Chain A
Amino acid sequence: MGDLFRSQEMTLCQLFLQAEAAYACVSELGELGLVQFRDLKPDTNAFQRKFVNEIRRCDEMERKLRYLEKEIRKDGIPILDTGDNPEAPNPREMVDLEATLEKLENELREVNAYAESLKKNFLELTELKHILRKTQTFFEEALHDQHMTEEAVGLMTEEGMMAGGQAAGLRLQSVAGVILRERLPAFERMLWRVCRGNVFLKQAEIDTALEDPATGDKVLKSVFIIFFQGEQLKTRVKKICEGFRATLYPCPDSQAERREMAISVMTRIEDLNTVLNTTVDHRMRVLMAAAKNLRLWFIKVGKIKAIYHTLNMFNVEATNKCLIAEAWCAVDDLDKIHLALRRGTERAGSSIPPILNRMSTREMPPTYFRVNKLTSGFQSIIDAYGVASYREANPSPFAIVTFPFLFAVMYGDFGHGTLMFLAALWMVLREKQLAPTAKLSEIWATFFNGRYIILMMGAFSIYTGLIYNDCFSRSVNIFGSGWSVRGQFNQSLTPDQIRTQVRGIESLQLNPNDAQAKAWRANPYPFGLDPVWQVSGNKITFTNSIKMKTSVVLGVIHMLFGVFVSLTNHLHRRDMLSVVGEFVPQVLFLLGMFGYLVILILYKWAVYSGRNSNCAPNLLIGLINMFLFRYDKATNGCPPIYTGYQGLQTFLVLLIIPCAPWMLLVKPLILRRRQQMLARGGAMMGHQQPQPQMQPDAGVDGGDQTELGMGQQQDGGNNIHDGDKAVDMGAGYGDHGEEVDIGEVFVHQAIHTIEYCLSCISNTASYLRLWALSLAHAQLSEVLWGMVLAIGLKREGFGGCLALFVAFSFWALLTVVVLLLMEGLSAFLHALRLHWVEFMNKFYKGEGYKFEPFSFARAELEM
């Protein structure tokens, strides 16, 4: 709680790292993940920094690793993930790693090049095989087709002539080849155009997809054979073939030669296959070996790169012997950081320990909360509004309770709450198994990361659902209702008889004042709403009144709490002026107006009952009249709400009204006065007079500086320098007396005052959304029950079974989609708004920035 309420106390440190130990030290700090380094050279280009060559080497290694990964994935080899986390290797090991990767890459590239040439060969042979096979069928078809076209006749005779080996005057030449199937139509068209229709093309599809040797993709191709006449056409045809990247193959004219060639091609394919297989095996072995280490290599290289990136942010000392870094870290972690630095020095074998100085600065430190699995969700809700200013009260520890509670006030339903709770419980119990899946889908990740919030929301909804006595819009009668209809019937009747009689009656009146009917048994339902309201005609009127008033009560308490949190902020800063000038009038304003209203609400609930309800005053009208000082004389014979209320109310109004100018003027006026006094005093005593009470602080800072006991001399200058800084800061922080523009303060205060006064009223009204959403949810679930499930329940017999089955599935689906998801989201958003706006504007500035430590674990998550 303490950790979460205020952010960690941070300090700016200066680190002097020996050049040879810097790498190991940063590596240790990266494992630790508790230090945020500052970029000391923000204006320097990425390529002008000291370790740019190392980073390039890392980039190169990463490129090789990616190449390996691509090849491994291409072959579908699983990449071993042992889950262990190797340390960042030494710079010396980096050279080894580089060499290993280089060797591996070269080997792989060699194998690939060899395999590619083999595959290309293989592809050519396969294509040739297909050509031979297909052309064979072309010719055979031509021979057997009785309805031959003119060209075909010519061809056949030519073919016959050629087969016979006779030279003819008119020879047809042919070209055969293979082309990508999708390019065939354009190819054919162009061929026809260029040769003016003087060629004959026959094509057939190759059924099996062939592998492209360069990319490894499967491509579909077609075989074609073109017949033409004359040399000129031949060059043209060849040019077009080249243009469309068709591969041409020699195709012998006679059938015998073709058969012979086919046989030789087949044997060559067989031979090639065996060679290819051994190559593939070799490649497989190389990749398998790489796959075992790939993940570790990736992590190692990533770490090296991160370390050099960090080192690049450091300043190099003039003698080039050490690196100077500045970093933010939590004061509590200093010991751990020292230890890590020492470990790093030992690892590097350096004799001179690193030096860590605390520095004082005027800069606002980063905001750092130590969160766990439960609190991180709520913290992220707060951070989404704005990261807390340094050491400001953090609303998230309260939000852990108030957020689910306000959600549940709107969502209150026992049944829905249970479903939500169970769903969240499942996510919580199986979080280890489910965690990896969260990366897959953004929507799922949202739910998964909010599992603890959902769990709490579910639990609170069960609680409020019990109070509202709502379970899927039905009430549960556990303890027995406090109301009875028995008195209105003949006393001699048995309960069963009464039941049958009641069924016939349209409506019954249960009047608590009717002594004869004894409708009210005078034993209230012990917990929550009496189930009898579920069947009553004025249920809505009754619950509306209760829920509306509850909303106001909860809202005022919530806001008042917010104002009190602002008190802790003022006290933390020892800012008594703000306590007197802001907090006190704020509390009086809120209490005088709405605190009084809350008391009246509770009073009205306690005092007025069924007997004197006709005298119950209207609180809203009463509140308005209070500010108008208007009190009606006509009371209709009722007593006033309490004696002397007019006097008290007049007093309250007179108390509230001055609060506004109080808030507006007191603080700026006192500030101005202080400034004037300081100016006068400063003129008398000389300007360089630091605030005396702040000096001890500065002393502490100075004392810490030599914690490691080394490098005293070189620190001397720094010491004095930092001491000055600390004093400066102290003066600025202790009071606002330094050069502040008073006009600005006035404007700021005016805005603040107006905002507060107006928002007290509008925010109270805003809390009525608790009632509205709750009403909407209850009504929606009731409609769903009445319009869907009830229809199924009313039928009887076999048809009823079916109807119930259908109705239930509809009802269940709609319950999950509309009531659980949609309504849940809506209530969530409203609860979020109530926190961000109504609660947090009372005290929260949110002007800080997040602490983002240099951490390997974090870098890996982002990868």
Chain B
Amino acid sequence: MFSESMFSVDAGYLEGLARGFKGGILKKTDYYNLTQCETLEDLKLHLQSTDYGHFLANEAGPLTVSVIEERLKEKLIIEFNHLRTQATGYLAEFMDYITYSYMIDNVVLLLSGILHDRPIKEMLAKCHPMGTFEQMEAIHIATTTRELYDAVLVDTPLAPYFADCINEEDLNEMNIEIIRNTLYKAYLEDFSAFCQQIGGTTAEVMQEVLAFEADRRAFMITINSFGTELLKEDRKKLYPACGRLYPGGLEMLAQAEEVEQVKLVADYFAEYRVMFEDDGTGMDKTLEDKFFEHEVRLNVRAFMQQFHYGVFYSLVKLKEQEIRNIVWIAECVSQRHRAKIEAYIPILE
């Protein structure tokens, strides 16, 4: 039985830390200043005056975007691991769940790397450090999904999610996408169930965030599947069944054959309708960006409530968005491509 009154005994300190880290998230004015930068050195100078402090101070030689990204990720990892090592009980498990999604991404990334005969070292460098696991580097011995499961994934927490996509087929592009989506579906459903098991405010907050995540995936899978040889029945199997679209919306999505039909489905849900509408401001935001914006809103909202684990999830997601923003701005700055520099997604006012 989870009780809010006992929350602070184990997680109070960590929640405080998490909220402190959230306080360091860049504000609107920071972004405004960042977009004014002429060079990456300027960017570094401005970031020094924020919570990032001297995270780039010990870099010798000219700055590159990839170095910045690496350091940003490193900082996130340090903060996350600081919290993770002190977490106990449900919270520890909860934080492990957060890392699983990165593991899935890494597995898929490595698999597609193998498929294109890229050297494993190069691929490893691209993996998200949050989702590393011990067997990861040996992934290239797998040629079929069964081997992948038997040799690599069986010892990882991803193993149960993988049970649905074991077959003897050779790996190919389509296969990998299916693996990714199957894993994600299983992961989201499992995570959602776990949050319900914790109960209380955590369940409430996470339900909302994860439901959105599930629905977003369902939409994206549908839209991306148009024009591919993916069968409708197979596609339906990939929809995570823990969102607000479940079950009626998913049924309709499964039948969709073009974008207009997807739009019709979204019309039934107030918050998704606006995503597909042209907002008329002339800013041609992509659907993906709109989804990101909504995600940020949900995650910021998670901080409005106290005594729940959702803040840890939201912190990671917000920080990740922030990293994407900074990297975007840095790319624009370094490539002197200023027209699109405003296309970041603001997080806090």
| Interface locus among B132-140, B168-176, B227-235, B244-252 | B132-140
> Whole-angstrom distance between the alpha carbons of A62 and B140 in the complex?
43
Chain B min CB distance to A101 (Å): 12
Q: Take A47-B37, A56-B45, A67-B58 as given contacts and tell me if A193 and B139 are in contact as well, using a CB distance cutoff of 8 Å.
A: no
Task: Scan residues 98-150 of chain B and give those whose CB is less than 8 A from a CB of chain A.
Answer: 120, 134-135, 137-141, 147, 150
Residue B154 lies at the interface, judged by CB distance under 8 Å to chain A: yes
State the Cβ distance, B147 to closest chain A Cβ, in Å: 8
* A63–B42 CB distance below 8 A: no
A194 close to chain B: CB less than 8 A = yes
CB <8 Å contact, B135 and A243? yes
CA A490 to CA B338, docked complex, whole Å? 111
Given contacts A47-B41, A47-B46, A190-B151, contact A239 B135 (CB under 8 A): no
Asked whether A336 is an interface residue with its Cβ less than 8 Å from the other chain, the reply is no
Q: How far is the CA of A59 from the CA of B140 in the complex (A)?
A: 43
Mark A239-256 against chain B: 1 for CB-CB distance below 8 A, else 0: 110111100000000000
Which residues of B sit under 8 angstroms from A47, Cβ to Cβ? Answer: 37-38, 41-42, 45-46
Partner of B134, one of A63, A186, A194, A242: A186
A439 at interface by CB-CB < 8 Å: no
| Tally of contact residues, B, Cβ under 8 A | 28
- Alpha-carbon distance A672/B141, docked complex (angstroms): 91
Bound CA–CA A56/B139 (angstroms): 44
User: Does B64 make an interface contact (CB < 8 A)?
Assistant: no
Residues of A within 8 A of B135 (CB): 186, 190, 243
**A52/B140 contact (C-beta < 8 A), A47-B38, A67-B58, A193-B154 known:** no
In the complex, whether A858 has a CB less than 8 A from a CB of chain B is: no
Contacts of A63 in B (CB 8 A): 57-60
Chain A minimum-CB-distance residue to B121: A242
Contact A243/B45 with A186-B155, A189-B155 known, Cβ cut-off 8 Å? no
Contact call B150/A193, Cβ cutoff below 8 A: yes
A470 CB, min distance to chain B CBs, angstroms: 43
Give the complex CA separation of A745 and B186 in angstroms: 68
Complex-state Cα separation, A55 to B135, whole angstroms: 46
* Chain A interface mostly: helix
Q: In angstroms, how far is the closest chain B Cβ from the Cβ of A665?
A: 46
Q: Does B76 contact A (CB under 8 A)?
A: no
Asked if B33 CB lies within 8 Å of chain A CBs, one says yes
Return the chain A residue nearest B149 by Cβ: A193
Chain A residues in 8 Å Cβ range of B60:
63, 67
Given A45-B46, A67-B58: A190 and B33 within 8 A (CB)? Answer: no
Given A66-B58, A186-B155, A193-B151, the answer on whether A243 and B37 have CB atoms closer than 8 Å is: no
Contact of A46 among B38, B45, B139 (CB under 8 A): B45
A236 at the interface (CB under 8 A from B): yes
A684 → chain B closest CB, angstroms: 50
- Asked whether any CB of chain B lies closer than 8 Å to the CB of A673, the reply is no
B17-47 vs A, CB cutoff 8 Å, 1 = contact: the mask equals 0000000000000000100111001100110
Q: Which residues of B are found within 8 Å of A244, using beta-carbon distances?
A: 137-138
If A190-B135, A244-B138 are given as contacts, then 10 extra A-B residue pairs at C-beta distance below 8 Å, sorted by A number, are A47-B45, A56-B41, A63-B60, A186-B135, A194-B151, A239-B141, A242-B120, A242-B138, A243-B120, A243-B141
A–B Cβ pairs within 8 angstroms, 28 of them: A46-B48, A46-B49, A47-B37, A47-B42, A48-B36, A56-B41, A56-B45, A62-B57, A63-B57, A63-B59, A63-B60, A183-B134, A186-B155, A190-B152, A193-B150, A193-B151, A236-B141, A239-B140, A239-B141, A240-B138, A240-B141, A242-B120, A242-B137, A243-B135, A243-B139, A243-B140, A243-B141, A244-B137
Ranked nearest first, the 4 interchain pairs of A and B with the lowest CB-CB distance are: A243-B138, A47-B42, A243-B137, A194-B151
Interface residues of A (CB under 8 A from B): 45-48, 52, 55-56, 59, 62-63, 66-67, 183, 186, 189-190, 193-194, 236, 239-240, 242-245
